[in-house]
Amino acid sequence: MKESKEDKMLLAAAEDKLQQCARQYMVTNTGFLDLRQRALVESRLRELGRSNQDVSWTFFGGYEDAERTIAIFLPDYAVLEESHPLTVIRAQAPSGGRKLTHRDYLGSLTGLGIKREMIGDILTSETGADIIVLEEIRNFLLFNYGKAGRTSLQLEAVPLQELRVPEVRTVMQKDTVASLRLDNVTASAFSLSRAKACEAIRSGLVFVNSMQAEKTDFQVKEGDKLVLRGKGKAFLREVGQRTRKDRIFIVTERYL
């Protein structure tokens, strides 16, 4: 994974949070990470190893399938559920108006000068959105965040336990592939040509089990989660027998 100047700064900051946790025996965390940033940080943390048995780390975004997560470092006395720094801002939009999109909410938040790393997933609904944020900006948003575009919002802070996760819609797809190479399975799962799948993989847009995969011949196995940035995610649910033409039956579940 090629590292930019920004990547190196990100990794240095994550290492600093790890060391601070060990040195001061306190819970520390990074800002929110996208999938690529998470893969970079996770790789570095694994390289460093768990040399300090009094400190553990994990990635947390507020709910099981969160796309944006923080790296949180925990001393041995701390429990994630009681120590995380996340909260939810619930934004309610007036009924009868245009349904606001993820882009509407994100654009209005960053328009306030809030850095992207302070904002987690934005879960939209017909009536508004639940926005996962770091606790430190909770009061700022309650006092200053009143509109998304031209639409006025009513805000309240709610505990993470009351987060409203939209119902997930999926579709099961049956297909055959020449092999379980990543390019073949990605093309099948996201209805792409193999050339387009290869391009996406080489561009760093494809993740397998939250780790960035840049090799088109990476071997995928049953149960793996694939994420294609901009297209969503899918699971390889079943790997079947070979056909008479020596192709492999697969079943993928794509999230819509």
Residues contacting 118, CB < 8 A, separation 6+: 31, 32, 133, 134, 136, 137
Q: Do both 212 and 194 map to the same domain? A: yes
At 61 the pLDDT is: 97
Do 187 and 157 fall into the same domain? no
The residue among 28, 60, 83 that closes a domain is: 83
My answer on whether 79 and 120 are in the same domain is no
Answer yes or no: are the C-beta atoms of 233 and 227 closer than 8 Å. Answer: yes
Instruction: Give the pLDDT of residue 1.
Output: 54
Task: Give tens-digit pLDDT for 30-78.
Answer: 999 999 999 999 999 988 875 566 789 999 999 998 999 999 999 999 9
pLDDT value for 70: 98
* Domain end among 162, 195, 222: 162
pLDDT (0 to 100) of residue 155:
97
CATH number of the domain within which 52 lies: 3.30.1370.160
pLDDT digits (tens, 9 = 90+) for 126-165: 899 999 999 999 999 999 999 998 899 999 999 999 999 9
pLDDT in tens, 80-126: 999 999 999 999 998 877 889 999 999 999 999 999 999 999 999 98
Q: What is the CATH number of the domain that holds 227?
A: 3.10.290.10
Structural domain count, the chain: 3
User: Same structural domain for residues 175 and 251?
Assistant: yes
Domain of 248 in residue numbering reads as: 170-255
Q: Residue 48: its pLDDT value, please?
A: 84
Query: What does the pLDDT average to over 198-215?
Result: 93
Sign of the torsion angle spanned by Cα atoms 140, 144, 149, 153: positive
- Same domain? 44 vs 94: no
Asked if residue 72 and residue 90 are part of one domain, the reply reads no
Give Dmax over CA atoms of the chain in angstroms. 66
